[in-house]
Structure 1
């Protein structure tokens, strides 16, 4: 999930149950890093956080398990990226 979703994850119905059911991979998003990394899920499951170097094995870990991945961001909007994928001209 994107870090922007993790920042509000505690508002999801059954969020703690979800975290106990499946390992979670969080990808950084512009402006959401600190909120996500310091949010309620991060605090509640701090002992279950894996280092970014363990991202490839996260899906195979026993929940709760989660990893935060820093990522390079693309300056294009999602709409522009989808248009580019359809072969349309995109002006930045």
Structure 2
């Protein structure tokens, strides 16, 4: 594997959680640890994006966000913070997943997202390619359970949904295959932290 890329061996089950992590917070950590348990994953890779195409304003510098993300995890060896999109030169999730599947033959990947992202998932570039390339694990966040259930993507792929009680089998079959689980979830959001000034004020210049 090329330098700077995380290690993975064939047969491992790895969840991919992408985002700007601007900043990372306890909500990201809780979603990740629940995903490890509920979807029977070996690892979760946080993919800290250079920038989110759906957001009008750019995030904090990438190295600053990666440092914050690593600090928030407290050294959990099951979670790897990466700058994979910057290294791969990809901007969109569908392209990132395509490249990772080629780089890591035999590794079973799943895409992870909060229910709030499921609501806007059909606006993502080549979102159907994502759904039909890897299993997708959706974790409900406060206020997004019902909107997530009625999301356009959820309705279109209703026939590919696993019941929550079967969540540990998410990666046991080919895509399209997805599962929606409800979890106790922190209501914190990165936007709220930024608006309160806790991110910019607490990070070094």
Common topology (TM > 0.5): yes
Greater RCO between the two (CA within 8 Å, min separation 6)?
Answer: 1
From 178, 189, 194, give the equivalent of 1:66: 178
Is 1:38 the counterpart of 2:176? The answer is no
Alignment of 1:13-92 (within 5 A): 13-75=125-187, 77=188
Deviation at 1:60, TM superposition (A): 2.3
CA deviation map 1:27-75 (0-9, x unaligned): 0011111111111111110000000011111022211011000101235
Structure ranking higher in helix proportion: 1
Q: Give runs of ≥4 in structure 1 deviating > 3 Å.
A: none
The runs of 5 or more residues in structure 2 that have no matched partner are 1-112, 194-205
The runs of 5 or more residues in structure 1 that have no matched partner are 81-92
> Highest Rg: 1 or 2?
2
Could you tell me the TM-score, scaled by structure 1's length?
0.78
Structure ranking higher in strand proportion: 2
Distance 2:141 2:163 in 1: 18
